[in-house]
Each structure stands twice: as C-alpha cells, then as structure tokens.
Structure 1
Amino acid sequence: MKHIQLLLLLFAAAWFTSCSKEDDLGPIEDIPGLGGDSWVQGPLDKWLYDTLTAPYNIAVKYKWDQFEFELNKTLVPVKEEKVIPVMDAIKKVWINNYIAEAGLTFFKKYSPKFFILSGSASWNENGTITLGTAEGGRKVVLYLLNDFRTKGMPGYQPSDSVTVKQMFHVIEHEFGHILHQTVMYPQEFKQITTGYYTGNWNNISDYAAHQDGFVTAYAMSGYDDDFVEMISMMLVEGKGGFDAIVNSIPPEGSINGVSQADARARLRKKEAMVVDYFKTVWKIDFYHLQAATRHTIEQLLY
C-alpha cells in the first residue's frame, strides 16, 4: 500500500510541476468540440425550430460533424440551401400524411427525433450505396441530399424524381422498422417466401426479385426488411405503382423453378398482410394513407 501511495504522490507532483503558471494551456472552451456546437442562429435554424422542433420535437443537424457518420466513409456536408426544401418535403409527404391518418399523439410517440443530413452518398465496399440509416428508432441519417431537386427548383429534371423518391423510400422504410419493432407483424409473413432470403441480394436485380415474390432485391435480405420494403414501396409508388410491379411478372410459366403465378400470389399475400397489420395494430387505413402519400409525392415531382 505504501508503494502505491508513493507512486500517487510522485504522479501528483509531476502533474503540478508540468502544469505551472508558465505553461498556460488556455481556457478549456478554446478546445474545439469540448464546448459543444455553437454558431449564430439564423433564419434556417429558426425555420427548423418552428416547423419541426417545436411542434414535433424533431431536431435536424445539418452542420458538419464527422462523428455522426462512419469514420471510414468519404462524405461531404449538405448544402444549406437544400435543407429547407428537403425537410419541407419530408413534412408534407411523411409527417402530414401520418398525422392525418393516425393523429398527432401517434406520430409524436413513434417518430424518430433526430435527423442527420449528408450531402453525398455513402458507398459500401460491395458497391452498394447506403441512402439512409436509423439507430434505435430515434435517429435517422439521410445521404445524397445535395442532389435533391423537386418541381420548381433550379435545374430540376424528371430524372431527379428517382433521387427524391429514394429519400422517401428510406424514411418510410425506417419508420416501418420502428412500427414493427414496437408491435411485431404476424409470423405468417415469414412463411410466404421462406428459403428465398439471401445475403447476396445486392447481386440480384429488382426485376429478378419480383419473379421470386419480393418487391425489391433488398427485401430479400431478411424477413424484417422484406416487411418494411413492402410498406415503403407501396406508399412511395402508390397502388398503381405496386400493381405495375405485380403485373410485370409473367402470369404463366416458371423462372428458376418458381411459378410466376405463385410469385404474383406471394406479393399479393404480403400486400394483404401489410394492410391488415396497419388496420389491426395501428387503426390506420393503409390504402387511404397510400393514396395520400402518393398524391403528395406527385405534387412535388410532376
């Protein structure tokens, strides 16, 4: 014990000796990051507070902070002129429609509370792009926002609609995860395409996935993502768009040992389970939510 006390005393002496008055380290608030983020609040910050934080308790971080992202990724900040168009579109398409169908209490209880914005895409080693992530149902990270353009914005082209719909796809997908992690979807859903899930989904086209009874290739990555991909695609593409996916599958014949009539039936069975889940668990008329969501997207893009 005496040896330990001696070492502690020696360490303390060395510390006080090295930190003499001549060695002024400066005030701690001068060390970047330790004092927290601060900048002069401007019109953009006021708009975010008034539009999202005050009514829904949703914060938006657009100032660059590498520690909010994977450190091994090369990314760029979101352009400030993109922030309001992006978040206004999210409010119109996602927030307003869910509140109209399920009420403000529902939305405030289950919605993520923190959005992180990145200007560029997040590329993965396997060649895929991560367009969004969520953590614990509280935080959503959105990428590729510097390419965001809707009707009326400078330089808008119809092809820009793909990027915009991808953003909504991510948000509806992640919110779908929050819902099913709160109340699980029926176990029967997992039995519809058992044996067809794969970790190699990124090597499969969406059309090939349709022929196995999946709404997207990513839906083949697992049960949960299959369920929320159904939610997301049905909402973003609307009933007409989802019907077009189903009808793109040949009504007869077999591909890779899968009857195409069965592939169509699988998607219809998944559709029915999603609709019933929303009605039974959340008291939401999914088809009404679907029509409203698609209508709002079309107003932004066409």
Structure 2
Amino acid sequence: MKNLLEITAIAFLFLLVSCHKEKLSSQSVVESETTQQAYTELDRWIEDNITLPYGIAIEYRWDKNAAQKGTYTYPPEVTKVKPVLEAIKYLWLELYTEASLGGSNFWKGKAPLKIYLYGGKNVDGNGQELINNNSAVGREFHLYNINDFNPRDKDKVYVLMRSVHHQFARLLGDEIYPYDRQTFLSISQKDYRTVFNNQLYGLPTDGIALYALRYYPKKRDLNTCTTELPFQYFQSLAQCQNAHAQAGISEDCYFCNFTQNTPNHAGFFTFQAMISAENDFAEMISIPLTNLSSQIDIAKNIAKTPTGSTEKEMQRAALSYNNLLKKEAFVAEYFNKKVGFSLKRLQLLSLQRMNRFNAQ
C-alpha cells in the first residue's frame, strides 16, 4: 500500500510540473462545435449603436440551432451586416422614438431582443420563401437575404423593412401590448389556410410574398404571347401597364395585378396574412408602414370587386372588403388604446423616413 501511495504522489507531481510548463488554452472545449470569435470593429459598432442604446443583441455569426428546421439558409457576408443594421436602426428603432410617437423612452422595458441575420433566403423544403421564422420563440427576430441587401436599392430596402415591421408587429401583439386575439380571429377565421393550390402555407415560390403590394406581369397565354419584358416588380399598376405599352406588348398577353388577386379576393392584404391570425395581424401593421395609402386602396378595391356576376361571388366580394375594413379599424384602435399613438401617424413618419433613406 505504501509503494502504491508513493507512485501516486510521484505521478501527481509530474502532472503539476507538466501543467506549469505548458500554458493552458483559454478557449473552452466544452462546446466542441463552438469556436472563440475575436471581438471586431463591427462588434464594437453593434454594441455602441444597437445593443447598449436599445437592448438588442445581434447574432450574425452562424448558429445552426437557430435556423428554422427544414429551411435552407446560411450565414451572412460580414461586409453586409452593418448596412442592414444601419437601415433598421434608422427606419425602425429611431422611428418609434419620434417625439410624436413613442418618444425617447419607447424602448425602455421592451428589451431584451435578439436578431439573427442570415445570408440567404428563408426557403423551406417545398420551395416556399417565408418572411419570418415561424418557429421563433420569445423575443427573437430572424432576418434573411442579408447578402442580397443594397441600401441604394429601394426594393431591397422595402423587403427588409417588410420583414422587420412584420416581426415587430407580432411581438407587439403577442407580448408587449397583447391584443384581443379572439376578436381579431373571428373576423376572417374561416378564410385562414395553411395549404391551398397544393402549396404549403399558400405562398408563391418566387418571392412574390415578400413584395406584398408590388405588381408584376403574368403572361395570359404562353402559346400566343411570345414577347415579354425582363422579370421585374412595379410599384404601381400604372407603371406596370405603361412599361408593357411602351414595349408594344398587348394587354391580351399580360395582366399586371397578379400579386393582388388571391389574397385580396379572400379579404387579406398579402399571401403571408392568409397563414394565420397572428400573421394577418402583423401584416395589417407592416403593410401600412411600407406602402402608400393609395396602394392599399387598390388592394381594397380589388377585394370588393366580384370575380364574377353570380350572387355568391358578389357576396364574397362584399364580405372580403368588409373584413379588411374591420381589421383596419381593429389595428387602428389597438394602436390608439394599447400602444399609445396613431397608426396613421406611424405610417406617415415611416414612409417619410423610407423616402429620405432611399434618397441618400
């Protein structure tokens, strides 16, 4: 026994000497898939401009566990991160602190938030491009298409802010200032659908859902219509029609309000709104904050226009239009009573900021 103790003591001393001579690594190896990242100038900028003033953490380094299951995306290019954050700081964070809205104290008590950034689209296994992460929990945002972002491209700014305003509207209604979900749900309850036209969620597969009230031409007859413009979105119906007229393309070959028809005729502003009451509520807020009232009026006019001359079709149009008006009134009252300022005022200042940002 004595010899065993002596051997053990000698081995222990040898171990201590070895540890003393070789400096131990400061990096943890508990999480084998995590590597220690250097604190960069970008991290310092994020801390000074986003995290400390607003209580928002930004995660742009890859975390496979945060991505929505079944989707295909990847981390963003580091050079794209700051331009995206500058945009959402000016167009979202600073918007709500305007003196005539929430004021300088608006963000107090609403943190912490965490925003994940992804380089590519949020495309699921069915080819559907989604505007947000439907599996997100708590106070999380998930922003996509970061590598494609260009602060000088109005359409890219529009898509980014559609997603930001949509996700913040959900957070407002779900946690910060809870709304009467049952009352809102009852307006369009029978019309929400997760599967239609053999498409999961009912979203188109070419990014249309992200552009909401934008327009694009749909060819009527592939057999007789051989001339076409390069695929593009238009900010108004008139722009779409004029572009095709100037190119000498017959109206018989295109119609320019394709993004509108399906959701509007069902009593919704967008495809995204058709998924659930939660998405619908968020879209009733994010759409005004990124679109002119004249564009919204076009959507409502489409809603109240019957798809045919039968009594059933006329009743459907009247119901869809009235449902949109009811939901507009609901969110207007919600902002006045719960949030504490007018959604109309928020819309005006949001669009003004977008115009100034796009003019830079």
TM-score, shorter chain, exceeding 0.5: yes
Give the alignment of 1:59-138 within 5 angstroms.
Answer: 59-70=57-68, 73-100=71-98, 101-111=101-111, 113-133=113-133, 135-138=136-139
CA separation of 1:72 and 1:264: change in aligned 2, threshold 3 A? closer
Could you state the TM-score of these two structures normalised by the residue count of structure 1?
A: 0.79
CA separation of 1:186 and 1:238: change in aligned 2, threshold 3 A? farther
Q: Which amino acid aligns with 1:126?
A: N
Shift of residue 144 of structure 1? 1.0
Aligned to 2:51: 53
Give the alignment of 1:230-269 within 5 angstroms.
Answer: 230-249=284-303, 251=305, 254=308, 257=313, 258-269=315-326
Shift of residue 259 of structure 1? 3.4
Could you state the TM-score of these two structures normalised by the residue count of structure 2?
A: 0.67
Q: Which amino acid aligns with 1:56?
A: Y
Instruction: Verify: 1:301 aligned to 2:358, yes or no.
Output: yes
CA contact (8 A) 1:131 1:144 kept: no
Instruction: Verify: 1:184 aligned to 2:179, yes or no.
Output: yes
Aligned match of 1:193 in 169, 183, 188? 188
Aligned to 1:7: none
Tell me, which stretches of 5 or more residues in structure 1 are unaligned? 1-19
CA separation of 1:55 and 1:30: change in aligned 2, threshold 3 A? closer
**Larger-gyration structure (1/2):** 2
**Structure with greater proportional helix content:** 1
- Output the CA distance in 1 between the equivalents of 2:351 and 2:286: 11
Give the alignment of 1:144-159 within 5 angstroms.
Answer: 144-151=145-152, 156=153
- Output the CA distance in 2 between the equivalents of 1:222 and 1:63: 31
Shift of residue 107 of structure 1? 2.1
Aligned to 1:273: 330
Q: C-alpha root-mean-square deviation of aligned residues, in Å?
A: 3.1
Secondary structure of 2:116 counterpart: strand
Aligned to 1:15: none
Aligned to 2:270: 216
Secondary structure of 2:61 counterpart: coil
Moved more, 228-237 or 73-82: 73-82
CA contact (8 A) 1:93 1:297 kept: yes
CA deviation digits over 1:167-219, x for unaligned, max 9? 21222112112222232236332222231111124167642110111111221
CA separation of 1:126 and 1:254: change in aligned 2, threshold 3 A? same
CA separation of 1:76 and 1:252: change in aligned 2, threshold 3 A? closer
- Output the CA distance in 2 between the equivalents of 1:128 and 1:108: 36
Aligned to 2:164: 171
CA contact (8 A) 2:289 2:351 kept: yes
Q: Which amino acid aligns with 1:165?
A: Y
Shift of residue 104 of structure 1? 3.8
Shift of residue 228 of structure 1? 1.2
Shift of residue 298 of structure 1? 2.5
Moved more, 209-218 or 32-41: 32-41
Shift of residue 93 of structure 1? 1.0
CA separation of 1:109 and 1:210: change in aligned 2, threshold 3 A? same
Secondary structure of 2:115 counterpart: strand
CA separation of 1:282 and 1:64: change in aligned 2, threshold 3 A? same
CA deviation digits over 1:61-99, x for unaligned, max 9? 212232332465443321112111101110111111112
Shift of residue 126 of structure 1? 2.1
CA contact (8 A) 2:304 2:318 kept: yes
CA deviation digits over 1:270-299, x for unaligned, max 9? 111111111011111110001111221222
- Output the CA distance in 2 between the equivalents of 1:27 and 1:64: 23
- Output the CA distance in 2 between the equivalents of 1:76 and 1:282: 35
Aligned to 2:143: 142
- Output the CA distance in 2 between the equivalents of 1:70 and 1:268: 34
- Output the CA distance in 2 between the equivalents of 1:68 and 1:194: 31
> How many aligned positions are there?
275
CA separation of 1:259 and 1:72: change in aligned 2, threshold 3 A? closer
Q: Which amino acid aligns with 2:289?
A: L
